A and B are shown apart, each in its own frame.
Chain A
Amino acid sequence: MTFDLHQMLASKRAFRHALAARDIVEKLTMLDELRARALTLRAAREAAHDSSVLREEPAPYGVSAKSNPS
């Protein structure tokens, strides 16, 4: 583990190169998995926005206490 930005970027680049160099069958399988994950996340997000769920509203932004007596 390092906090050296240059080393982190180099490490990321090396990881991307290693991924790119993998066999295409393996990479396409990753695409299958990435899509499955994206669909799961999307479904979870939509469920979270279900209107039947009671949710606390955030305070209105940029409105002063004077103009918002409630």
Chain B
Amino acid sequence: MNIAQVITTINQTQADGVIERYAIGGAVGATFHLEPVSTLDVDIFVTFRHEPGSLLVSPQPIFDYLAARGCKMEGEYVMIAGWPVQFLPPTGPLVEEALADAITVPVGETPARVFTAEHLAGIALQVGRAKDKARLLQFIESGVLDADRFQAIIVRHHLVEAWQRFTRQFLTDTP
């Protein structure tokens, strides 16, 4: 089990032209900015290549590429270096922007593309499950968020109301 190996494999997938660009999100992405966040899988957001003559985008070339290199499929996951990895397309403008603005962080000798803290926090606010709210609180308490950048994301992606609800619920004494 080696998550650094997962990153190396994803970089190779990109270098071989199977994916255009990628960024690590979810708990693993959050770990680049916060204390380690325990998780059972790795979320990789990717822009899929269009197959010639097809308007549809498909993750199949990724699966074929990785299967040819000995990775096994388990449901919607690909097992890489002992980790279940899920390849996710951008689900909306916020994730598309997060993918475009992702930062490169060196993991030893290996570069890794990761969502910014502000985008991870914005996505957590938008998704809004209990664990996402907990993560958003972690981001706020840790002080890693650039307030101006985070606020711009909230406004741009129509999350002001969700943010106000969140602050009432978690950041004020009187809900």
Contact = CB atoms under 8 A, between A and B. Distances in A.
A17 B38 contact: no
A40 B107 CA distance: 27
The interface residues of chain B, by DSSP majority, are classed as loop
Interface residues of B, number: 24
Contacts of B33: 20
A35 B1 contact: yes
B34 interface: yes
Contacts of A20: 33-35, 142, 144
Given A16-B142, A31-B28, A35-B83, A24 B39 contact: no
Contact of A25 (B1, B107, B142, B144): B107
Interface of B: 1-4, 28, 31-40, 83, 105-108, 112, 141-142, 144
Interface of A: 13, 16-17, 19-20, 24-25, 27-32, 34-36, 38-39
